[in-house]
Amino acid sequence: MGLRLLVVEGNVREAREAHKASYGKTSSESYADALLEVAPDAICDICLPADEGANLPDPAGLESYDGVAVTGSALNMYDDTPPIRRQLDFARACFRSATPFFGSCWGLQLAAAAAGGEVTKNPLGRELGVARAITATEAGRGHKLLAGRGAAWDAPCIHLDIVAGPPGETTVLARNAFAEVQAAEIRHDGGVFWGVQYHPEYSLRELSVIMRRRIPLLMAEGFFATQLDGLRHCDAYETLHADPGRRDVAWALGLQPEILDPAQRLTEIRNFVEHYVRPTKSARGRA
């Protein structure tokens, strides 16, 4: 019997439609593809807790899933809007269900805030394109979420916010110079969350599409001097996505093999499935 997974879309309708218009899929559809890459036996459902009136599983319904994964989002936790409050309520239900729980970027911030932590704008500004030199903490070096990672690694990312105050039962697993919490385990209300601040699910093309939509904003933040600079940068990501063997482009962008190789890039998602979801499924008598 295969896995039954739930993908939680972090975006409101407008942002979902913008991503689909430029990339061909919503963030949750793309995330489901990444999960199926590491778990071909899985069936992925998608839910939209940011939407008012969305049909969402309660804790009992969540227990019927083998795992829950939360996407990134264009929202900012500190804005405290109804779509954010609805997602916080849903994240708390995920914890109460004790279903294996995972998230990238917004997913980590959501789980931290739902458990009582603090999410703020990063005083260092936006981390864009690649999270560099992520290193495991002492606890992280022995944690199964990071199994297969070396002493330091890079990962796709784009985020302005960080978990500035981890909730009480948090084990920080990795950090870098840009964020003190790049990976963490959070225990709350009977459930356990594994998550990362970066985006192991992003292909270079998806990252390019996101940056391309935001070139004016990124110019204002000082990443690109001109529109043309931004377009050329995004084009280079697209080129490398189509041909990962272009060492010249990889060198110019400073991209390491763990980003170019999908198998390495998806490490944390694979570890979530193999070291958390499947063992829990077996323990629940569903194997």
pLDDT of residue 31: 98
Residue ranges with strand state E in 67-190: 67-70, 101-104, 118-121, 127-136, 152-159, 161-165, 170-175, 183-188
Distance CA 272, CA 99 (A): 12
What pTM value is reported for the model?
Answer: 0.97
Residue-range domain boundaries for the chain: 4-201+266-283, 204-257
The answer to whether residue 49 scores a pLDDT higher than 70 is yes
Q: Would you say 139 and 175 are in contact if contact means Cβ atoms under 8 Å apart?
A: no
DSSP letter at 275? I
At residue 285 the predicted structure's pLDDT band, cuts being 50, 70 and 90, is confident
Whether the CB-CB separation of 201 and 268 falls below 8 Å is answered with no
Q: What is the mean pLDDT of residues 114-137?
A: 98
User: What is the per-residue pLDDT for 160?
Assistant: 98
Q: What is the pLDDT, as a whole number, of residue 284?
A: 82
Query: Which pLDDT score, from 0 to 100, does residue 66 have?
Result: 98
Q: Average pLDDT over the chain, rounded to whole?
A: 97
Q: Round to whole Å and give the CA distance between 124 and 179.
A: 9
Q: Is the pLDDT of residue 211 over 60?
A: yes
34 token code pair: 């990444």
Within 13 Å of residue 77, how many CA atoms lie on the same side as its CB? 27
pLDDT tens profile 134-176 = 999 999 999 999 999 999 999 999 999 999 999 999 999 999 9
| Whether residue 258 has pLDDT greater than 80 | yes
Does residue 97 surpass a pLDDT of 90?
yes
pLDDT for residue 219 is more than 70? yes
Write down the CATH number for the domain with range 4-201+266-283. Answer: 3.40.50.880
pLDDT at residue 287 tops 60 = no
